[in-house]
Amino acid sequence: MTENNLPRKKLGEVCKFQGGTQPPKSNFIYQPKSGYIRLLQIRDFKSNKNATYIPDSEKLKKCTESDLMIGRYGASVGQILTGMSGAYNVALIKAIPDKKLLLNDYLFHFLNTNDMQIWFKSQARSAQAGFNQTEINKVEIPIPPLTEQKKIVGKLEKMLGKIKEAKILRTESLESTQNLLPAELHKIFGEGKKKGWEEKELENLCEFQNGLWTAKKGPSQLTEVLRNTNFKNNDGTLNYVDIAQIEVEKNQLEKRLLNKEDLILERSGGGPDQPVGRVVYFDRESEKYSFSNFTTRIRVSTNQINPKFLWYYLRHIYISGKTELMQKKTTGIRNLIFSEYKQIKIPLPLLAEQKKIVARLDSLSEKIDELKKLQIETAADLDALEKSLLHQAFSTFA
């Protein structure tokens, strides 16, 4: 039976959809308790970090681990979720297939087809409230006999299982790639310590300048200002997309322009999974950029150290977690204790050796970037293959 001659029915003829309930927040507790039930929100299908419980009641809409749940709103619309039991909220809707006509697993794969996902996204764009039951009931689904559905599911799960394994291997490969530079930094600077490289405190090698923000008085000038949000992917480089253009005081700007080889240190910001203290390397010449008041410019003031060597070492300090010991938290923002940061001891091998180390690390960084690009392309190929397999298994719908 090919995809073009499968009998078709409207989803509403073979499946019911049941929306969730939204209990008042005043009833929420965050530990299991007798008489309470887990409240399921979309985020709970990815993590138990925010587990919430509510008083059990017959009025609640509930699901089991085998039920198919669909995200109804916004960025989560069309997410097909399973594996959790509890009472689900209004951001989820439960699919209840007619067991005489439609297998649960067959429906799961159909809802994950690219055509169906495009349909979900189109509904989210056209309605603030997300898709409604009337519209999804009209969607057509191919309905072969249950025995044929079982065969289709078996073939799909065999092939999709292989793709899943390949994705796991790709993820592991990406993690290994991301660990290459930290491992090399640890090796280089560990060996340097054994060699007895001379050391000096950071404040004796550099000059520092805090950033600026919107003008409050005097003549002003529109300037491109680099912010924490321009720190690219935590890899120590800058993303020049979405740069803030801000009116700043001219007299403040003059001493806050960036030169090539300046470093920009994040002094405020960060979060639980991203400590403050990231440092980026400014590699441009002619453009007139400044930097925000949440950052500090570090400019080498001596010929004892290569600026890029310093950047690699400060990245090593950050990656190894040492800046976590130099931060304090106020009103939800993490601030670097700058007086401690300035006292970091910087290794000083001979300049010729510094240049060799920089060349070695630059070469490794280029290879890492190439590997990451290849891994991203591989991920895209696997996603495309997955979509193709699902498309072949089901007929397209109007």
Q: What pLDDT, in 10s, does the model give residues 112-149?
A: 999 999 999 888 655 455 788 888 999 999 999 999 99
How much is the pTM?
0.67
Euclidean distance between CA atoms 89 and 62, whole angstroms: 9
Q: How far is CA 141 from CA 72, 103, 189, 269, 396, in A?
A: 19, 12, 61, 49, 8
Euclidean distance between CA atoms 153 and 97, whole angstroms: 15
Complete domains list, the chain, with CATH: 8-144 (3.90.220.20), 198-348 (3.90.220.20)
∠ CA 2-6-9 to the nearest 5 degrees?
Answer: 160
pLDDT at 5: 60
Euclidean distance between CA atoms 72 and 115, whole angstroms: 17
Question: Rounded to the nearest 5°, which phi and psi values hold at 117?
Answer: -65, -35
Are 203 and 300 within 8 A, CB to CB? no
pLDDT at 232: 77
pLDDT at 249 over 50: yes
Strand partners, 268: 335
pLDDT at 178 over 60: yes
**Nearest alpha-carbon partner for 304 in 204, 221, 372, 393:** 204
pLDDT at 2: 41
Kindly indicate the confidence band of residue 398, based on its pLDDT and cuts at 50, 70 and 90.
Answer: very low
pLDDT at 1: 34
Q: What pLDDT, in 10s, does the model give residues 204-228?
A: 999 999 998 888 887 888 999 999 8
pLDDT at 64: 96
Euclidean distance between CA atoms 197 and 192, whole angstroms: 6
